[in-house]
Structures are given as structure tokens and as C-alpha cells.
């Protein structure tokens, strides 16, 4: 079936540019956002229609994408969208949420003969703006094949990783890795400064070796300057880590480092860093 009509629900820092890429690719895009002014702003930059309700956003669409806040939003918004989506259409959820919620929405969609893919993303605001996101997907192969080429409008890589919920579980792994890497980088920078080294020079050297990481390449220099305005906020990281820690309790895995770094992020929040980006872990070391 040819995909032509798509809608995007949730025009935050990620959804706004993602929906824009769909419009630029030539799809007939309908957008919805709880704050209507944001949707109107989107329509002033891209070609598309602004829906005034979730019902309108879902009606007669081949694919409905959503990128909302948390589990409660996914359940509330997803359920309302499914009520108005046509049989044979597909709901794609780009929210970072729990695997349990993904499975709940999948079961409801299945009952209504609607496809569902849980598809959290990695790459941050810059990745969304540049169309370079990584998309981790869970669901049925046939549904993934129908949406994959559309997702590629804003992704450098998308992959089906298993049954429904697998995308969310993979995103948990992603956030676990990031938390540990950023903490290690923060401690290294703190150590270097305490030792009196020129950390800019040191980073230029060690980033060429085994210590190299995306975080080092993209955040070390701004961390040294105390700049923490690069998208993914501490509040959102704590939400994601809470999901991962909760899942770990269910599956019996041990996440000692993740639990520790989560508490370090709580310290950053107490310093007023709720909206600082995740590289702000260095601030708590500098304030000790």
C-alpha cells in the first residue's frame, strides 16, 4: 500500500523537526500539538495541515507518528488516536517509554486491526534537526517494512530488534551506556583539572585512542567551558533511567552504576540543573 497521508502528534524539540522532514519528503502531513501555537509555528515553516484535535489528527491517515512525554501520555494519547485510526493503518510511537506500555498499546491496536511499532530514537535535538537519528524498533516485521522508508526521512539508521517492546528495551540499553560514559568523562575532566593539566590538549590526544566516544568528541570541550545547553535535559534522563531501573527489577539484572549515576543526576537537579543537558554531571564534582 502506498503511503501518502501521515500525521505527527507532539511537536517538541524532537517532533518539530521530524515532522518537518516528512513534509520536505513530500508526504501529506497533518500535525497536532497540545499547545496550538507550536503547531501554527510548524505550519509557518513547512507545508502541512494543523489538526485541532487528536481525532482529526488520526482520521484517514496511513501512518500516525507520536512523540510525547512519558508512559501516561503514551497511554492517554495513544488510546485516543487508536479510536479514530482506520483499519490497516499503523501507529508509530517515538516516545521513550516502558516496554510494558508499548505492549499494552500494541494489544489494543491489534484488537482494532491497526499496526503498532514502538520506535524510540537516539541522536538528540541535533540528530532530529539533521535527519540523523537512530531508531530502535519493536513490532511485527510486516508493519516495520511498511514504515521503514518513511522513518528514513529523519533517520540515518532504523532497525527492527524483535517483538513489541524491543525498541524500548534497546533504548534503555542506550541510556544506560550514556549515563556511564558521561560520568566517566566528567570524572576524567575533574581529575585533569585538579592535576593542573591542560584538559583541552589532553582530550585532543586521548580522543584519538581507546578512550574516544561520541560524548568526548561532542561534549568534552563544552563541559570544560561550563556550557550545558545542548538539548537532552537532566529531567528527561532521570525519567529514562527510572524506566530502565524499573525494568531491571523485573528482569533480575543488576544496574549498580546506572543507579549511582541516577543519584548523581539528582544532585545536579538540586543545583538547579533540571534543564541542563546530560553532560552537566561535571557540575556536581566542581561543587563538592
Enzyme catalytic residues: 171
Q: Which residues contact 173 (CB under 8 A, 6 or more apart)?
A: none
Pairing of strands 49-50, 28-32: parallel
Residue 151: name the closest of 3, 11, 32 by CA: 3
Determine the 3-state secondary structure of 123 from DSSP: coil
DSSP of 162-230, one letter per residue? SSTTHHHHHHHHHHHHHHHHHHHHHHHHHHHHHTT--HHHHHHHHTTTTT--HHHHHHHHHHHTT---S
What is the number of other CB atoms lying within 10 angstroms of the CB of residue 108? Answer: 17
C-alpha 212/C-alpha 175 separation (Å) is 18
d(CA 141, CA 34): 32
Distance, CA of 265 to CA of 281 (rounded, Å): 7
Which H/E stretch holds residue 91?
Answer: strand 90-93
* Distance, first Cα to last Cα, the chain: 59
Integer Cα distance of 8 and 218 in angstroms: 29
Amino acid at each position: 500500500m502506498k503511503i501518502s497521508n501521515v500525521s505527527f502528534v507532539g511537536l517538541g524539540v524532537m517532533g518539530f523537526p521530524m515532522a518537518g522532514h516528512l513534509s520536505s519528503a513530500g508526504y501529506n502531513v497533518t500535525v497536532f500539538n497540545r499547545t496550538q501555537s507550536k503547531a501554527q509555528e510548524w505550519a509557518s515553516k513547512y507545508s502541512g495541515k494543523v489538526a485541532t484535535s487528536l481525532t482529526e489528527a488520526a482520521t484517514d491517515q496511513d501512518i500516525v507518528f507520536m512523540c510525547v512525554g512519558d508512559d501516561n501520555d503514551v497511554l492517554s494519547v495513544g488510546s485516543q488516536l487508536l479510536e479514530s485510526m482506520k483499519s490497516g493503518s499503523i501507529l508509530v510511537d517515538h516516545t521513550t517509554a516502558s516496554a510494558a506500555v508499548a505492549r499494552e498499546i500494541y494489544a489494543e491496536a491489534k484488537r482494532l486491526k491497526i499496526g503498532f511499532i514502538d520506535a524510540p530514537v537516539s541522536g538528540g535535538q541535533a540528530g532530529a534537526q539533521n535527519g540523523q537519528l537512530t531508531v530502535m524498533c519493536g513490532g511485527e516485521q510486516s508493519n516495520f517494512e511498511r514504515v521503514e522508508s518513511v522513518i528514513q526521512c529523519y533517520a540515518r539508521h532504523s532497525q527492527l530488534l524483535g517483538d513489541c517492546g524491543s525498541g524500548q528495551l534497546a533504548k534503555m540499553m542506550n541510556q544506560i551506556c550514556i549515563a556511564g560514559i558521561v560520568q566517566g568523562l566528567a570524572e576524567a575532566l575533574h581529575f585533569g583539572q585538579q592535576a593542573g593539566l591542560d584538559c583541552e590538549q589532553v582530550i585532543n590526544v586521548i580522543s584519538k585512542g581507546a578512550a574516544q566516544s561520541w560524548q568526548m568528541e561532542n561534549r568534552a570541550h563544552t563541559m570544560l567551558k561550563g556550557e550545558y545547553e545542548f538539548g537532552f535535559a537532566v529531567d528527561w534522563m532521570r525519567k529514562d533511567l527510572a524506566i530502565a531501573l524499573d525494568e531491571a527489577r523485573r528482569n533480575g539484572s543488576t544496574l549498580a552504576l546506572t543507579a549511582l549515576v541516577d543519584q548523581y543526576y539528582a544532585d545536579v537537579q538540586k543545583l538547579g540543573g533540571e534543564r541542563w543537558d546530560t553532560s552537566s554531571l561535571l557540575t556536581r564534582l566542581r561543587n563538592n
